[in-house]
Structure 1
Amino acid sequence: MSLLVRSKAISTGLFQRLATVNPVVILANALTFTPNLRTNPIEKPQLQNNFGRSTFAREFHSTPITMASSSELKRTLTPTLLDDVHKLWFDHLSCDEALVLPGWSDMGKWFSHDEAFDNACVTQFRPALEIIVGSGASASDILSAVNPSSPMDWLCLIILLDQIPRNSYRGAESKLVFGRFDPLAEEIALRAIKEGIPTQSPYFKYRMAYRTWFHMPLMHSENLAVHEQAIKVHEGIARDLNELLARDASTLTEEERKCHGVLSEQADAVQTFLSSNSDFEKRHKVIIERFGRYPHRNEPLGRVSTPDEIEYLNNGGETFNGGSN
């Protein structure tokens, strides 16, 4: 099945449901299930501290991928696999309006700890994740194996690397999330953003249920320079939506008019959604500014906490509920 976006029937009752969207709750829950720690492979920003990437992450990237591993990656990371990611992640959305401005009932599947959903991720995708781990593949190796040809290919690959591991590796195994998959997801997300993938077409540019995942890996980074870029990304999203809302509908393309109609009906919710996204990125950034890393990740990554970090955590410092975040 093609990864091009499938059309969804419009439900007339969704506008009432979207009106109740609570972006603060959405994003607070989102933070429970997310992490990351690596630099941009295209414009490598300099680390601002002595922590940088974990030894665990460096070990994975110290050996060039073999020809056999490269072939196995190509056999594994197929269009069918990416389409399966799309099905698992988005098929619960009832209509196109939910893609433009998802409500909590839409996002709950992604950001609630659901054992059944975890099991689905493990059953469908852990074998592929294990192959990635075993191969020692870099972000470039993975992109070469996948050869993404559409924004949807990029999107599903980022979700596979940034989100699926959080549902597949919990507890002590979250070391793999932080040390292995987050660096890959961050590099690929940064490359997608640099190449303008999220804004290539109105379909992705104005649908927050899609565009959000392109910048989620940046929030998980332990590189301050990446957080500076994340702030700019959030500003760009806000600018794009506000410019669309300000335009005369008669000047828009058919695709733009669809999104304009949904967003204009929910103008207040749009602004709350945007400000909440920005605020949560800033909550992450301030921790990196202070510590150069996320202290609550130290235990799974085998890092020794500093006295300042211990005091911070003991006094209610942000952990975003720990776990796989």
Structure 2
Amino acid sequence: MEAEFDVKPNKNPQEWDEVLDFWFPERRALNVDAQTHRAHWFWRMQGGADELIVARFADLAGKAAGALDHWALDPHGRLALIVILDQFSRSVWRDSARAYAQDPRALTLVTEGLANGHYSSLETPWFQVVFGLPLGHCEGPDHLQRLDLLIGLRRKIAAEAPISLRPIYAALVEQASDVRKIIAAFGRHPHRNMVLGRTSTAEEEAYIAKGEFPHRKAFR
């Protein structure tokens, strides 16, 4: 169920605000209740929003591969594009290869945003955490280096988050470290193998059989 927050209307609405208002009902209010915030993280990252995303944003997800590139001129527009490409795609095309097909484009948006100051201009820890997700999600030869970068970014986020929220963001540092161990062992996300038509090694089959994937353990 979608979390509820008391949010003032945006006086200068942008075309990407519908995405951000949906995915971040906290908006920029740093004095959020920790329990409510944790519950929203669980809803947001564990598939609880799938039906709403498909109903409201399926058409937008189809456009995000190129028709919305102008959003990336603004830090919050770039963040909204990352949400669509990295998160909404996984809901709209769940259990199909297309769910991951947008990862390289999302990663490019992150890399550019780290270089041009968009990332550092984001006001909240939840904006920054979601902005960085493709660093860990997108497979590739530089995956370990990107995960090292992600761990460093998350450590800084956790250190600077409001005190009541720091345990939540410290846990996300641990999650990124767990993902790094998986990539160091296998060079990819083995839980995607079946969907992507890849043959699993014996070691990957044993890992998949356990079902202890870092993304499933978060916020439980």
CA contact (8 A) 1:222 1:294 kept: yes
Give the drift of 1:176: 0.6
How many angstroms does 1:232 deviate by?
A: 2.9
Flag structure 2 segments of 5+ consecutive residues without an equivalent.
Answer: 1-5, 9-13
Aligned to 2:53: 121
1:87 to 1:110, Cα distance in 2 relative to 1, 3 A:
same
* CA–CA distance in structure 1, aligned partners of residues 28 and 137 of structure 2: 29
Deviations 1:52-102 (A, max 9, x none): xxxxxxxxxxxxxxxxxxxxxxxxxxx52x222112212366944239997
Does 1:214 pair with 2:131?
A: yes
Structure 2 counterparts to residues 130-209 of structure 1, below 5 A: 130-131=62-63, 141=66, 145-171=69-95, 173=96, 175-178=97-100, 180-200=101-121, 204-205=122-123, 207-209=124-126
Contact 1:102 1:209 (8 Å CA) reproduced: no
Please give the secondary structure, in 2, of the residue aligned with 1:219.
Answer: helix
Normalization by structure 1: what TM-score?
0.54
* Equivalent-residue separation in structure 2 for 1:99 and 1:189 (angstroms): 28
| Paired residue type of 1:177 | A
Structure 1 residue 197, shift from structure 2 partner? 1.2
Question: Which residue does the alignment assign to 1:296?
Answer: 191
Counterpart among 139, 146, 149 of residue 232 in structure 1: 149
Q: CA deviation at 1:165?
A: 1.2
Q: How many residue pairs were aligned?
A: 207
Change in CA separation of 1:147 and 1:99 when aligned onto 2, cut-off 3 Å? farther
Q: Residues 108 and 93 from structure 1, CA distance in 2 versus in 1: closer, same or farther, beyond 3 angstroms?
A: farther
Deviations 1:243-274, CA, capped at 9 Å, x for gaps: x6xxxxxxxxxxxxxx8xxx25x3xx51x334
- Asked which structure has the greater RCO (Cα within 8 Å, sep 6+), the reply is 1
Contact preservation (8 Å) 1:189, 1:214: yes
Match of 1:211, as an amino acid? Q
Distance of 1:276 and 1:319 partners within structure 2 = 11
- In structure 1, the gaps of 5 or more residues are 1-6, 10-78, 245-258
- TM-score normalised by L of structure 2: 0.77
Alpha-carbon separation, structure 2, partners of 1:319 and 1:104: 17
Q: CA deviation at 1:290?
A: 1.4
In 2 relative to 1, CA 149–93 (structure 1 residues): closer, same or farther, beyond 3 Å? closer
* Counterpart for residue 311 of structure 1: 206
Q: Deviation at 1:164?
A: 0.8
Identity %: 21
Q: Find the structure with the greater CA-based Rg.
A: 1
SS at match of 1:186: helix
- The change in CA–CA distance for 1:284 and 1:112 in structure 2 (over 3 A counts) is closer
For the 8 Å contact 1:8–1:96, the answer to whether it is kept is no
